[in-house]
Amino acid sequence: MSLALALAMPSTRVLASDTPAAAAPPQVSDAQNLSVIDVSAALDQARNALSPDTGSSQYVIDHKAIAQLPLGASTPMNQVLLQAPGVVQDSYGGLHVRGDHANLQYRINGVIIPESISGFGQTLDTRTIQTVKLLDGALPAQYGLRTAAVVDITTRSGHELGNGGSVGITGGSFGTLNPNTSIWGNADRWSWFFTGNYMENDAGIENPTASRKPIHDHTNQARGFGDISYLINDSTRLSFLFGVSNNRFEIPNNPGQQPEFGYLDTADFNSADLNERQRENTRFGVLALQGTLGATSYQVSLGQRYTDVAYSPDRIGELMFNGVASDVSRSNRASTLQADFAMPMGGSHTLRYGLYGSFERAASGNDAWVFPADADGNQVSTTPLNILDDSRLIARTWSAYVQDEWSLGEDWTLNYGLRGDQYQLARTESQLSPRLGVVWQASDSTVVHAGYSRYFTPPATEMIASSNIAKFDGTTNAVADTGNNIPLAERSDYFDAGIQQSIGPAWTLGVDAYYRKVQRLQDEGQFGSALVYSTFNLAAGRVKGVEFTANYARGPLSAYFNASLGKAIGKRIITSQYNFDPADLAYIDNHWILLDHDQKLTSSGGINYALNDRTKVGADYLFGSGLRKDGNVPNGDSLPAYFQLNLNLSHDFMFGDGGNLHTQLAVLNVLDRSYALRDGSGIGVGAPQFGPRRGVYLSVQKDF
């Protein structure tokens, strides 16, 4: 993989390819078309001016760098983001950035895409990306609600690419088949980019055992994305972007498990024969008006996102193993309004302000079968009972911000602002959040930044009421402690400081440290068989860490290295106590514990060498000291450390007038080391999951 670090602007760490992102030259036929491309580029610059990053930490991975990953553009989005420091991998495709559970905000061309219901399918297609930024640290006032990191995607554009397309396929181990196609173009003031792909394999979810091939783990996934824009005039552009994903999963089985309950006249069940499934659907659409009015840049957008998750159990098998079998469904429809403005004032100030609103309708259903039980939870009958448990929720979110970017001479930049957020579900919560960031250009090769941000993070729009829990009293799904079942908004104070140093034309080094003091810390866990998550709060949390980066790029060779050291702890569970063992609750009530997603040491790195203009070789790796598991106390121990090495070789074949055929061979986990991401223990952990075994994949891609 060809990745290098370059300083793009004060306070910014940029992870990108050693050369600018490769794009096909625009197909221009006359001067008018060329002027349309110039107008589109100017509007892109105006849109970029709406989003500051002063005082925060930023990584940028461009389209060319993605193409040089082992799987190229077939790489899932979460695997792309793992190339940045401070990003920890978890099971079901989950990511943790700087000690947070999830809490990621996704933006496409500056527009917030509301989060989907938590599951394990990927929604966004990597092939849509021109550049993707990962912003974390002390963010300016423009960024709120989901603040562990902002994943800001700039899509590929027909005005930049010209008229053409691409078709390809990736195949290999575990029955992997992944065909894809894209088409792009422009005509006068119109521009478009569309992409779609289908993927199936026999390792859709992490294997619950260390075996090479999981049992009952087939997946079918389809994704599509489109971006259409129209230049109304030289200062105004109307865009419509949309995305769809439809993912189907078999839930992998863990053989050798012994049933705990009897079902009618059946006393035995082979756990390798379970037939559990889950489907996840997401679709979103955004209509955005963007442009300039005098010196003021603006973007106003209306959007909607719908997502649903449905889990289908093996009724008899789950009743015998767990004492409950539930058809679980969750859906959420979010309608959004977003407006951002940037206005220069004098020669040294830029005033930015805006608002955001979201209206969500959420529904959850639980068609559960359980056994009658006595007061001690012992099964008293082998004939199951059916209990229906449904709920409907409405949530409203309003946010507004104002901030000033102040250039203090040539070397100092100050960004200060204030943000207000209000969230309403079962209760109304709100907060005013000050933000402050400063950047010092100490020399041509040294940049220092520091910042403070107050954060307000609403919970996911899902909630289990006490009345729902009471329906299971006297059954094998009864809980010991109903507790407080209304999730709370998290509030935190975030401090961040870092320095970047360029050494000659090839080397760039960076160090960044952060500390977060949290009240009502949010976490999520998998409770029960369905692979969906539920939110709970701890009364207090402390998260801290330091990150180091080193990047080299010169001639045909480029390399990068990231390492992060972190610690995330919490104390006293104050919501959703029904999910936890009473003994664990009692311990956590009086002791600090490490959070289940805490990983002390995380590292990633890679190297890429161009043998010639058409052939490249590369390698990259992931290292983790291990997530938490139960020891003598909850989350008191860690899983063994792991190291995954990936290799790749790419070559472009020339076919005269037929153009190039790009081929890429990848070997993932070349050492075939089996490693556990989870062992099934720990607070909020439902089942064991292991990392991928060795896989060999070949990609073939043809542009036209």
Q: pLDDT tens, 391-438?
A: 888 999 999 999 999 998 889 999 999 999 999 988 899 999 999 999
Buried b / exposed e across 458-495, counting CB within 10 Å, b at 16+?
A: bbbbbbbeeebbebbeebbbbbeebbbbebbbbbbbbb
> With 0-12 CB in 10 A as exposed, 13-18 as middle and 19+ as buried, what is 452?
middle
Specify the pTM. 0.88
pLDDT at 432: 97
Provide mean pLDDT across the span 255-281.
Answer: 91
Q: Exposure pattern of 624-653 as b/e (b: 16+ CB <10 Å)? A: bbbbbbbeeebbbebbeebebbbbbebbbe
pLDDT tens sequence across 659-687: 889 999 999 999 999 999 988 876 656 67
Any idea which of 69-83, 207-221, 372-386, 678-692 has the lowest mean pLDDT? 678-692
The DSSP bridge partners found for residue 619 are 607, 647
pLDDT at 228: 95
pLDDT tens by residue, 598-639 = 999 999 999 999 999 899 999 999 999 999 999 999 999 999
**Cα-based distances in Å from 248 to 200, 215, 316, 687, 699:** 9, 16, 22, 20, 23
Q: CA 165, 170, 174: angle at the middle one, nearest 5?
A: 160
How many other C-beta atoms can be found within 10 angstroms of the C-beta atom of residue 194?
18
Cα 229 versus chain centre, distance = 26
Domain 4-703 has CATH 3.30.70.260: no
Paired with 438 in beta bridges are 414, 450
